[in-house]
Structure 1
Amino acid sequence: MQHARLIATLRRIGILAIAVSGVAYLAYVFFHEPGDDQGGDRLVISVYGVSQDSFRKNLYAPFEAECGCTLVVETGNSAERLSKLAARKNNPEVDLAVFSDFDALAALRRGLLDPIDVSRLSNYNKLYEFARDPIGGHMAVGYTVYATGIVYRTDKVAISSWRDLWSPSLKDRLVLPTLTSSGGPLLLQMLERAAGGSDPTFAGALAQVAANKRSVVTFFERSANLVQLFQQGEAWAAVTGRYNLPLLLRLNMPIAWASPSEGDAGGRNVLVLIKGSRRRALALRFLDKWLSTEVQTAMALDLVDSPANREATLPPNVASLLTYGPEMIERMNFIAPAVVLDHRAAWTKAWNETIAR
């Protein structure tokens, strides 16, 4: 009799345990996002290699202190990092990555990204409009913006339009970005705009560069080359990102940022979540931290990134060196990321055939 009672009691306990387990499982399904509780206390991010000391000070270390976790930082150029993500598509190591907006779209088209639940971002509504959904579907969020424009020697030449790049006074004194650099497509965009065109093939702009290529000292790839050319007096004007302005101003030459009537070109770098990440909740927390007013201001004060957060407030001496403030933001012209991806191969072919040879 006692044996039978013991068996019945154990059965009741077993049924209760199963019921409790079932409730716990249903609670997990309904109240946890996939990836929330997997992967432990480690977050892997893929970023550009520049200014990592500043990122460590202003972002990585404070976040690790807050979350009690460890950040694993992988660095490299966009092509290398995209290839690595594609190779690990079915078993991703990286949780969050940063790219230009068009490289982020390339990653999306290769099935490498997950959507971002912006309702979980406390800093999302602080962003400028251009940063909120730059590639569509909430698959990326912009964290910095940069203008590409014209820097010039004010004692040698006057510039009020992108058409002035072809002025006779700049013959053999003009430096332009090569097409494969981030500034190449932006140069073509503004030349097309200055000529009154809107053809995404940039046929007119490519023809302008080809017709005037003998006036160009060089088509540069690296910022160090640009600074050296100004320092040696070989360059009087150049098309470059505003992030190079502080380097050029250190030369103590009469160098200024032009205000052409057509405005400047605009570029964005964005944050993305990698599809299949096992630490999605932690990645979202880190992404939100990056967009915070505190971090955005700190990175701007270090002259690393111009803020995409509208609430970041900078002193005039810093603001003048960055892409900052409503007036400068309104002057920028962005290329749709899809235009870059859909036409880049044709631009490259035309460039190689008419300019690079």
Structure 2
Amino acid sequence: MSLTRWGGWSGALPAVGVMLAIAALGAPAAAQPTLVFAGYGGSSEQVLRERILPPFAQAHDVRIDYVAGTSATNLARLQAQRERPEVDVALLDDGPMQQAIGLGLCDPLPAAPVLDDLYPLASANAAGWAVGIGVVATGLAYNTDAFRKLNRPPPSSWAELGDPALQGHVLVPSLSNSYGLHALLALARTEGGDARDIEPGFRFMSDAVAPGVLSFETSSAKISELFQTGEATLAVWGNGRTQALADTGFPVAFATPKEGAVALVTMACPVAGSDVAELSRQLILYLLSPEVQAVLAEHAGWGPVNRRTELTPAVAARVVYGPEAIARLIAVDWAEVNAERPDWNRRWSREIER
């Protein structure tokens, strides 16, 4: 099989694909199983559906059904299906994934050599209940044409979300979304606080940002639309999503604030109670292979979590790539944040998104 489904590469199927194919050939004939994969929508869904999942499905003679939704939506789905799970592999942002682990919704991963090749931030916890598949930076996406017309340089600080000159054209996702939570944490740091002292973040968001927010939209597809219609000029977003929109030819770019961009790790776990548990685990290990990591970097904008992944200079320049780039990101202590998140959500509803 050629690699046309792997982003136009030439040559034979990568070693991981060969091993998968050999394993499939040695398996006894049986009814084709179905594996349900719950992940993001938008450009990420397209890459996974078209380039990543089909080779695995073919090698294992398994049907893969994709369920698209935000991390909050898919976490709620897992909770609702706890007694009779329909999802077999869940792909969630690192914060919601920590919640899923705490709720007992994930099964452990098997020991495997590929796990030794991952950066530390790819580990959700020492027990191995979930693993990072890619990393992106949360920062500021901006319409380059609009900024040029305003005679403004690229945004350089999280505080610019509250600039009166941009009032009515700023987009900050809701706190239920990782991008929105990152914005609150970043503003707290910018204003002298942190996760333990979130008050400065809420104060700045309430006084300076919320009055000028165009939307608290969480759907990346809708965020793209608001940029394309000219309604959004500045948004809290990920570098991968921003690059996907820029690849369509739209004048948008990603800026890393001087206070730092926040790490967002896309994590996968085998769902507890799955009737295709072994296939689920093998699919996750497949996603960690250097070959698949390179496809995710090029076409989804996810920085590789596998140290052995090699990228072309052009792709490497567009994603979080290498130990130095990962070290520059602001890490989130999710155990600390998730303990406070219910109270923050209630406060956000009362004071910010009214």
Q: What's the CA shift for 1:101?
A: 2.0
Relative distance call for 1:173 and 1:342 in structure 2 (3 A) is same
Q: What's the CA shift for 1:338?
A: 2.4
For normalisation by structure 1, the TM-score amounts to 0.77
Aligned residue in 1 for 2:137: 147
Relative distance call for 1:113 and 1:40 in structure 2 (3 A) is farther
Q: Does the alignment pair 1:220 with 2:213?
A: no
Relative distance call for 1:290 and 1:181 in structure 2 (3 A) is same
Aligned residue in 1 for 2:200: 204
Corresponding letter in the other structure for 2:283 = F
Q: CA RMSD in A?
A: 2.9
Relative distance call for 1:114 and 1:243 in structure 2 (3 A) is same
Q: What's the CA shift for 1:207?
A: 0.9
Q: Is the 8 Å Cα contact of residues 303 and 322 (structure 1) preserved in structure 2?
A: no
Could you tell me which runs of 5 or more consecutive residues in structure 2 were left unpaired when the two chains were aligned. Answer: 1-27
Q: Does the alignment pair 1:71 with 2:63?
A: yes
Which of 300, 303, 314 is equivalent to 1:317? 314
Q: Does the alignment pair 1:243 with 2:237?
A: no
Aligned residue in 1 for 2:182: 186
Q: Does the alignment pair 1:127 with 2:130?
A: no
Corresponding letter in the other structure for 2:186 = M
Q: Does the alignment pair 1:293 with 2:329?
A: no
SS of corresponding position for 2:54: helix
Q: Distance in 1 between matches of 2:140 and 2:303?
A: 18
Q: Distance in 1 between matches of 2:167 and 2:49?
A: 44
For normalisation by structure 2, the TM-score amounts to 0.77
Relative distance call for 1:248 and 1:81 in structure 2 (3 A) is closer
Equivalent pairs counted in the alignment come to 315
SS of corresponding position for 2:172: strand
Relative distance call for 1:86 and 1:218 in structure 2 (3 A) is closer
Corresponding letter in the other structure for 1:240 = W
Aligned residue in 2 for 1:101: 94
Q: Is the 8 Å Cα contact of residues 113 and 139 (structure 1) preserved in structure 2?
A: yes
Q: Distance in 1 between matches of 2:300 and 2:74?
A: 25
SS of corresponding position for 1:333: coil
Q: Distance in 2 between matches of 1:79 and 1:165?
A: 24
Corresponding letter in the other structure for 2:175 = L
Corresponding letter in the other structure for 2:220 = S
Deviations along 1:241-298, one digit per CA (max 9) or x if unpaired, are 1122235434553x43223222101111211122234544333322211110111112
Could you tell me which runs of 5 or more consecutive residues in structure 1 were left unpaired when the two chains were aligned. Answer: 1-36
Aligned residue in 1 for 2:108: 115
Q: Is the 8 Å Cα contact of residues 137 and 263 (structure 2) preserved in structure 1?
A: yes
Relative distance call for 1:276 and 1:208 in structure 2 (3 A) is same
SS of corresponding position for 2:343: helix
Relative distance call for 1:292 and 1:223 in structure 2 (3 A) is same
Deviations along 1:196-254, one digit per CA (max 9) or x if unpaired, are 2124362211110110122333333333443444445444322111122235434553x
